[in-house]
């Protein structure tokens, strides 16, 4: 037997099992209708699960993008200080974040497609359920045992098949969500471990060295000023905190405004 | 006859088209038995396209069983085997 028929037979056998049959076809109709309503509820929850998983990935991507941007800035700082070693370190970290981001994008696209399919499937089921409800009432009102059996069976197999199909779609979506959640969890752990952090976080050697790179010229200038004062020479001290240095430091915690307040006292 | 494409909908396909579907089904069966994913995707697309072109999609509120149910367009061999369960490994 070809695949097409094997697949059909098993699918239909499974679908027909989703609905119990009662002695009185009218009862079967009511029962089937209840089941389809339950299925619609489940379907909506499944769509929400996929959306939650997608949003989690979006948050992770935002976090990684922020880190990547900071590392880019740090690499620039390092280059401006002629610290190629630090620049390479920052760019290497940025590269591994870029890889993670590509992976996240692919997962995100998959989930989005899955979400769209689920929404479509639930709309289809909704239409069938509405049609089933109307037919069910008509059949019950004009019920005669002779004609009922065939008509009822047709409507029930139809709705049962739709439920089987929706059930399959839901199973797929659940599998995907479970896979993505496992990967998201692994990425969360990786992020928590600091492996993907930008260098301004925690006591990071990269940022510390960059800060020192900016602090040293300033300290030297201060030293020169003091020396100038002591020797009584009229040499003008170099200005501290030149604007280019201030803006380049934005990655580090901003120094408190304490000196200004002292001046005001 | 009525053919359902899983995840897509139901189509009414003229009975004279069955021969063509059977022919395309042979390729699909070979692909699944051989476990060749690329061949499977190509054969499945060919089969589904044939149903869509020869058949007419039934309205969304139509209610009735299908004579044939086909896997969804993006199904994989793995997913098909999962539906087939044990029987998937025994060519009937």
10-residue averages of pLDDT along chain A (265 residues): 86 77 80 90 91 92 91 90 88 90 92 90 91 88 72 84 87 85 83 66 68 76 82 56 47 47 47
Contact (CB<8Å) A2/B26: yes
Q: Using CB atoms, which residue from A4, A154, A172 is nearest to B68?
A: A4
Cα A107 from chain centroid (whole Å)? 8
Q: How many CB atoms lie within 10 A of CB A163?
A: 23
Residue pairs between chains A and B whose CB atoms are closer than 8 Å: 92
Backbone torsion region of residue A82, taken as left when φ is above 0, otherwise alpha when ψ lies between -120 and 50, otherwise beta: left
In chain B, which among 5-64 make CB contacts under 8 A with chain A?
Answer: 6-7, 9, 21-22, 25-26, 28-29, 32, 47, 60-64
pLDDT at A12: 84
How large is the ipTM?
0.86
HSE of A47, CA atoms in CB hemisphere, 13 A: 16
Distance from the Cα of A133 to chain B's closest Cα (Å) equals: 11
pLDDT, tens only, B37-90: 999 999 999 999 999 999 999 998 899 999 999 999 989 998 888 888 755 444
Nearest to A1 among B4, B9, B92 (CB): B92
Q: Of A211, A239, A214, A212, whose CA–CA distance to A224 is shortest?
A: A239
Cβ contacts of B64 on chain A, cutoff 8 Å: 154-155, 157-158
Closest approach of B53 to chain A, Cα-based (Å): 18
Candidates B29, B69, B79; nearest CB to A2: B29
Each residue of B8-43: pLDDT tens digit? 999 999 999 999 999 999 999 999 989 999 999 999
To the nearest 10 degrees (0 to 180), the angle between helices B77-84 and A3-17 is: 60
Distance CA A64, CA A96 (A): 10
Q: What is the pLDDT of residue B59?
A: 93
């Amino acid at each position: 037997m070809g695949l097409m028929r094997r697949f059909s037979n098993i699918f239909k056998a499974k679908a027909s099992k989703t609905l119990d049959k009662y002695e009185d076809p009218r009862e079967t109709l009511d029962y089937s209708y209840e089941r389809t309503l339950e299925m619609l509820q489940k379907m909506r929850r499944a769509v929400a699960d996929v959306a939650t998983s997608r949003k989690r990935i979006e948050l992770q991507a935002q976090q990684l993008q922020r880190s990547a941007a900071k590392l880019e800035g740090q690499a620039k700082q390092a280059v401006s200080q002629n610290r190629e070693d630090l620049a390479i370190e920052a760019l290497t970290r940025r590269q591994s974040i870029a890889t993670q981001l590509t992976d996240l994008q692919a997962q995100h696209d998959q989930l989005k497609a899955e979400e769209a399919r689920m929404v479509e499937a639930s709309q289809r089921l909704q239409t069938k359920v509405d049609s089933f409800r109307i037919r069910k009432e008509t059949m019950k009102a004009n019920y005669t045992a002779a004609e009922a059996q065939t008509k009822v069976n047709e409507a029930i197999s139809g709705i049962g098949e739709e439920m089987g199909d929706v059930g399959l779609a839901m199973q797929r979506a659940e599998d995907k969500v479970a896979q993505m959640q496992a990967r998201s969890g692994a990425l969360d752990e990786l992020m928590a471990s600091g492996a993907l952090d930008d260098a301004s976080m925690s006591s990071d050697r990269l940022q510390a060295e960059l800060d020192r790179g900016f602090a040293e010229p300033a300290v030297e200038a201060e030293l020169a000023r003091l020396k100038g004062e002591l020797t009584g020479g009229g040499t003008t001290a170099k200005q501290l905190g030149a604007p280019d240095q201030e803006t380049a430091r934005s990655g580090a915690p901003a120094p408190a405004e304490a000196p200004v307040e002292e001046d005001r006292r | 006859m009525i053919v359902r494409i899983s995840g897509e909908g139901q189509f009414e396909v003229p009975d004279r088209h069955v021969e063509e579907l059977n022919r395309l089904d042979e390729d699909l069966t070979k692909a699944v038995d051989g476990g060749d994913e690329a061949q499977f995707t190509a054969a499945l697309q060919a089969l589904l396209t044939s149903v869509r072109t020869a058949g007419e999609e039934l309205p969304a509120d139509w209610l009735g069983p299908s004579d044939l149910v086909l896997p969804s367009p993006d199904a994989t061999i793995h997913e098909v085997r999962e539906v087939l369960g044990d029987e998937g490994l025994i060519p009937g």
